[in-house]
Amino acid sequence: MARRLQPTSAGVVFVIGGAEDKRGRSTVLRRFVELCGGRQARIALVPTASSRGQDVVDDYDVLFRRLGAAEVVALRPETRVAAEDPALAARLDDATGVFMTGGNQLKLSAVIGGTAFAAAIHAAHLRGAAVGGTSAGASFVTEHMVAFGTDGTTPKQRMSTLAAGLGLLPGVIVDQHFAQRNRYGRLLSLVAHSPSLLGIGLDEDTAAEVHGGHTLEVVGKGAVFVIDGSAAVTNAHEARRSAPLLVSGAVVHTLPAGSRFDLITRRLIDHEEVSRGTARRLVAEDD
- Where along the sequence are the contacts to a copy of itself (CB under 8 A)? 152-155, 178-179, 182-185, 188, 203, 221-223, 225, 233, 235, 239, 243-257, 259, 261, 267-268, 270
To a copy of itself, the closest distance from the beta carbon of 6 in angstroms equals 30
Q: Which is nearer to a copy of itself, 6 or 248 (CB)?
A: 248
Least CB distance to a copy of itself at residue 127 (A): 33
Q: How far is the CB of 149 from a copy of itself (least distance, A)?
A: 15
Instruction: Please report how the helices 54-66 and 27-35 are oriented relative to each other, as an axis angle in degrees rounded to 10.
Output: 80
List phi, psi (to 5°) of 151.
Answer: -90, 170
The sign of the dihedral angle between the CA atoms of 205, 96, 37, 10 is positive
C-beta of 39 vs 240, nearer to a copy of itself: 240
Q: What is the DSSP letter of 275?
A: H
The full DSSP string for 71-133 is EEEE----SHHHHT-HHHHHTTTT-SEEEE-SS-HHHHHHHTTTSHHHHHHHHHHHHT-EEEE
Check: CB of residue 224 under 8 Å from CB of residue 252.
no
Question: Please, what is the minimum distance in Å from the beta carbon of residue 198 to a copy of itself?
Answer: 13
Nearer to a copy of itself (CB atom), residue 84 or residue 205:
205
Q: Which is nearer to a copy of itself, 42 or 260 (CB)?
A: 260
To a copy of itself, the closest distance from the beta carbon of 260 in angstroms equals 10
Using the minimum distance from each CB to a copy of itself, give the nearer residue, 128 or 256.
256
DSSP secondary structure letters along 194-206: -TTSEEEEE-TTE
